[in-house]
């Protein structure tokens, strides 16, 4: 049994039709039929039950199909890993990021590039737990920095830091005069919140629900930058992570602490446990971890 035979078998199963599978594989139907018969002979068991109209997997066929998909997937992964080691070496890394890390990640990269000046770094937005898992599993990213807690044995998850979620108000908003805000202060204001699938949205809604308060949601956004722009124009208020509000942004709005202990979140560094990572990439992971856990 070889990889080509497994590819042929998977194509037949996925189409349950020899003609369509042969067309996809760019081979003749008789050649495909002979390849499957040869595979059955080598295994010593029938894999497909045939009648005049349909094909059906036997128990042995179902087992082979499941295992064959895993084998081919692992071969694809091996090719990617070998390309990284042999072809690209340690020249490229892709990191999934979120907006609120924009003020500290460049500091880590500046130090890192002094040791690895040849490293080309791709930064891509990855938001939502499903996208985090999919991106890592498909080898689109080497590591991801996220506030999504990924509870899955496939992934290594390191907690980098905890940060407050703070209220963001227009400069001359009446609530800006208060030292600290309560949930009751916020519930009647026109509110700007992230769209479905964002952890911050879930945390905010859960906190208000537990307090028995409703939010007056007027805007749903995907980027914190958009939320700040809406606040700046006095179109509403929002709640954002405090690390995002550093630098020039802080001068254009007012941020206030909220008197609620649950308005905090953790930020994690996540990567696949079993993926081979070249030393230079592993070093960046350690550098990020060390930046917060000195």
98-114 residue pLDDT tens:
988 988 999 999 999 89
162-173 residue pLDDT tens:
999 999 999 999
113-138 residue pLDDT tens:
898 888 889 999 987 788 899 999 98
Percent of the chain with pLDDT over 90: 46
Dist CA 20 CA 12 (whole Å): 8
Of 125, 117, 118, nearest to 97 by C-alpha is 125
For tokens 């945390």, name the residue.
Answer: 203
All domains of the chain in start order, with CATH: 3-86 (1.10.10.10), 90-294 (3.40.190.290)
What per-residue confidence (pLDDT) applies to 107?
A: 94
Q: How confident is the model at residue 89 (pLDDT cuts 50, 70, 90)?
A: low
Q: How many CB atoms lie within 10 A of CB 120?
A: 10
Dist CA 21 CA 142 (whole Å): 34
- The pLDDT of residue 53 is above 80: no
33 versus 127: the higher-pLDDT residue is 33
- pLDDT averaged over the chain? 88
Whole-Å CA distances, 240 to 105, 147, 180: 18, 12, 15
What per-residue confidence (pLDDT) applies to 175?
A: 94
Length of the chain: 294
How many helices (H) and strands (E) are present in the chain, helices listed first?
10, 12
Q: What is the pTM of this model?
A: 0.68
What per-residue confidence (pLDDT) applies to 90?
A: 59
- The pLDDT of residue 280 is above 70: yes
- The pLDDT of residue 220 is above 90: yes
For tokens 């979120």, name the residue.
Answer: 98
What per-residue confidence (pLDDT) applies to 88?
A: 47
Per-residue DSSP letter, 24: H
Which range scores top for mean pLDDT: 40-54, 75-89, 116-130?
116-130
- The pLDDT of residue 177 is above 80: yes
Q: Are 240 and 106 in contact (CB under 8 A)?
A: no
Per DSSP bridges, beta strands 254-258 and 180-181 are parallel
- The pLDDT of residue 247 is above 80: no
Dist CA 118 CA 274 (whole Å): 26
Dist CA 31 CA 259 (whole Å): 72
Q: How many CB atoms lie within 10 A of CB 86?
A: 8
Region of 85 please: left (phi>0), alpha (psi -120 to 50) or beta.
Answer: alpha
What per-residue confidence (pLDDT) applies to 87?
A: 47
The H or E element spanning position 237 is strand 237-241
């Amino acid at each position: 049994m070889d990889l080509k035979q497994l590819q042929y078998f998977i194509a037949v199963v996925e189409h349950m039709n020899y003609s369509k599978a042969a067309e996809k594989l760019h081979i003749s139907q008789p050649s495909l039929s002979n390849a499957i018969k040869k595979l059955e002979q080598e295994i010593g068991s029938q894999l497909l039950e045939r009648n005049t109209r349909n094909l059906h997997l036997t128990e042995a066929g179902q087992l082979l199909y499941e295992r064959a998909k895993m084998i081919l997937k692992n071969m694809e992964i091996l090719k990617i890993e070998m390309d990284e080691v042999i072809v690209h070496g340690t020249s490229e890394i892709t990191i999934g990021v979120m907006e609120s890390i924009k003020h500290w990640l460049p500091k880590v990269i500046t130090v890192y590039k002094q040791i690895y000046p040849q490293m080309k770094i791709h930064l891509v937005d990855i938001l939502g737990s499903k996208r985090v898992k999919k991106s890592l599993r498909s080898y689109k990213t080497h590591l991801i920095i996220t506030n999504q807690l990924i509870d899955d044995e496939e992934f290594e998850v390191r907690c980098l830091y905890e940060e407050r979620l703070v209220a963001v108000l227009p400069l001359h908003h009446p609530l800006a005069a208060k030292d600290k805000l309560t949930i009751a202060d916020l519930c009647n204001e026109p509110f700007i919140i992230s769209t479905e699938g964002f952890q911050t949205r879930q945390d905010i809604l859960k906190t208000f629900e537990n307090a028995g308060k409703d939010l007056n949601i007027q805007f749903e956004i995907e980027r914190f930058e958009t939320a700040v722009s809406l606040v700046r124009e006095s179109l509403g208020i929002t709640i954002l992570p405090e690390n995002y509000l550093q630098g020039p942004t802080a001068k254009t709005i007012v941020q206030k602490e909220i008197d609620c202990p649950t308005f905090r979140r953790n930020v994690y560094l996540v990567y696949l446990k079993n993926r081979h990572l070249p030393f230079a990439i592993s070093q960046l992971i350690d550098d990020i971890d060390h930046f917060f856990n000195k």
